[in-house]
Structure 1
């Protein structure tokens, strides 16, 4: 009995030490394949708002005479936790089959990074925040939207010091997503399982915050402080599980590590897929985390996917996919390599990959050339949001022009916001659907399945 107690105590101490190390370093465990490079068990860097909202509050200490006060970040409960104030930042409206978010003001907050110490704000903005011209930051300072240690910044030549706290208020626009509602497949005291529509990210990332599964579940279904068990790519639909407690999340995570979780997907691919079972074990390498592009490469991570054809309509095939590993874009990359890309895949079925669209790993371009070609192809179609990036401000005259802050009673229009000056084409609901669906997730204690999507029916025709 004593030996058993000592072993359990030692295991608890080890797990506690790992948790404290991850917490103090600002990193957290990742799972699934929703974010580029976030395979199960990988270390994933949180988004800026996640870092700010989930960071542990430092211990209180006395402020010495003449010392500048630095406000600590708020301490929230474990899990993805957002308060009523976060949900109240803006509201949704529906138009043309799309769910849209009204533009809103948002604070980006960060502590001074080590490489910024001794440099001026002007230098930091000009070298690391080049999405906006310097004229924008000068105007933002005049408008009181830049604050250093909670004091308005009047001079961008101010030199940054260690532990300085910077707050930048911006006018935020989010891309539209499908208006298709989130269907709850199952819910009990331990988990909530939903049928995720295509085009919605699981959690805040990039330009998405309110148009995410986490925010919609919190705002419209009062489901808060959910723990992500696995993730799906933004354009992938289907079964998505959340745990309601840390204990449940750990228990299911253990099943994943022991390969007890079975995942089944369906997709519609170009051409006549072979009738026999096809196994692909080509290693996958991430080309760009920012854009979210991968390819087969010997230097990549090992993975395995089993494919089985379900039907063929003379032009396209419905294929069942059984991924045995959880690499980023694994199913999509393996299908492209085999020569059967998903019919409407906005990344791996594009002309940028060459005449054979990446079949057999033949691309004929460097990674830089490939990324540039993909961006240009989407820019021509006004669909850069699919890649998770936005159009840079192309007005070169803005660098030498001073913007002025006028009256801004209408929060949906901001005289400093470059996005407010750009007219974008709305995607059609059809453009926001990719023919890849997580059909079933099965574990030791559960088995959740969604309905087969319409495009996967044997008699379906586009």
Structure 2
């Protein structure tokens, strides 16, 4: 159904008519067309997975407001240009993720976290409170906290977050300009017929299944330097240096080289969802993030304290 863009967190320096609630920032919809039927009808159609009765309860509690903070009613008009603010809620309880993040560094600008496997970086899908961002907001009371980059839910390791809106752009620009050095480690099958280290390049695009990527013919748009650290029988320990940041780049590249990462449920073949099974973490770790601090010119380096799990160890 048209008529709105998906809600997203507002920039910290913009006026937000709803406060953070239990670590969760409000989201908003920016309406692109006028529609008949009233606000309840619109919301129920825009979010078909949420029961209409749930939207009615939120409206009755005054938890859905316009850009000025005025509570909206079920029959409030839906007009082009409106911004509708609301809290994202889950209709079913979240399963607790039994792994804890660690804080590696914090100053007046940054918070650097060490994310465990299985913990999403930000709220998405069926995850809201069981996410790195919401956990950290609750723990440190940092309303403006936001990740500057992200890791897949399945990947563990270093995540750089900003909590100072005044300096956030300087740190974000480092990632946009690709001047941040990121080093990953992985356990995977052996890669035969290659002399290490070597660089692998390919052209990647979204796959037919929205949650995976695929390789296609054409000019390469992804590049990874692959180093061999150690080999034990049919398992090898790799150090990976991504020179680009395509979705699932490292997972797809190793699978294409005939060495899928251990416990990868997406590559080379997407397997059925394991739900809340935490028994086999993907053996991929964002080991190190380093850069020259754009504010003071000092070198920064942050290393994950997590370790990969060798089979049988």
- Normalising by the residue count of structure 2, what TM-score does the alignment of the two structures yield? 0.76
Instruction: Give, in angstroms, the shift of residue 327 of structure 1.
Output: 1.2
More helix by percentage: 1
Distance 2:177 2:28 in 1: 39
Tell me what 1:331 maps to.
250
Distance 2:176 2:58 in 1: 46
Cα-to-partner distance string for 1:408-459 (whole Å, 9 max, x where unaligned): xxxxxxxxxxxxxxxxxxx33324x211101111112211112361415xxx
Instruction: Give, in angstroms, the shift of residue 253 of structure 1.
Output: 3.4
Counterparts of 1:120-159 in structure 2 under 5 Å? 128-131=46-49, 136-137=51-52, 139=53, 144-145=57-58, 150-152=72-74
Tell me what 1:117 maps to.
35
Tell me what 2:229 maps to.
310
Distance 1:169 1:329 in 2: 27
Distance 1:218 1:189 in 2: 15
Pick closer, same or farther for the CA change 1:263–1:219 going to 2, 3 Å: same
Distance 1:109 1:256 in 2: 26
Instruction: Give, in angstroms, the shift of residue 232 of structure 1.
Output: 1.1
Instruction: Give, in angstroms, the shift of residue 185 of structure 1.
Output: 1.6
More strand by percentage: 2
Tell me what 2:296 maps to.
none
Pick closer, same or farther for the CA change 1:245–1:301 going to 2, 3 Å: farther
Distance 2:88 2:138 in 1: 23
Pick closer, same or farther for the CA change 1:310–1:250 going to 2, 3 Å: same
Instruction: Give, in angstroms, the shift of residue 323 of structure 1.
Output: 0.4
Tell me what 1:443 maps to.
291
Pick closer, same or farther for the CA change 1:339–1:169 going to 2, 3 Å: closer
Instruction: Give, in angstroms, the shift of residue 127 of structure 1.
Output: 6.2
Matching residue within 294, 297, 305 for 2:216: 297
Instruction: Give, in angstroms, the shift of residue 181 of structure 1.
Output: 1.7
Instruction: Give, in angstroms, the shift of residue 123 of structure 1.
Output: 7.7
- Normalising by the residue count of structure 1, what TM-score does the alignment of the two structures yield? 0.54
Instruction: Give, in angstroms, the shift of residue 160 of structure 1.
Output: 4.6
Tell me what 1:429 maps to.
278
Of 320-329 and 175-184, deviating more is 175-184
Counterparts of 1:113-262 in structure 2 under 5 Å? 113-114=32-33, 117-118=35-36, 128-131=46-49, 136-137=51-52, 139=53, 144-145=57-58, 150-152=72-74, 160-162=78-80, 172-173=91-92, 175-176=94-95, 178-262=97-181
The count of corresponding residues between Structure 1 and Structure 2 is: 293
Tell me what 2:67 maps to.
none
Distance 1:339 1:238 in 2: 24
* Structure 1 gap segments, 5+ residues each: 1-25, 27-44, 58-72, 76-81, 90-105, 353-373, 386-426
Higher relative contact order (CA 8 A, sep 6+): 1
Cα-to-partner distance string for 1:310-349 (whole Å, 9 max, x where unaligned): 1222122111100011111111111111111111112114
Distance 1:192 1:168 in 2: 25
Matching residue within 293, 307, 313 for 1:453: 307
Q: Quick check: 1:279 aligned with 2:199?
A: yes
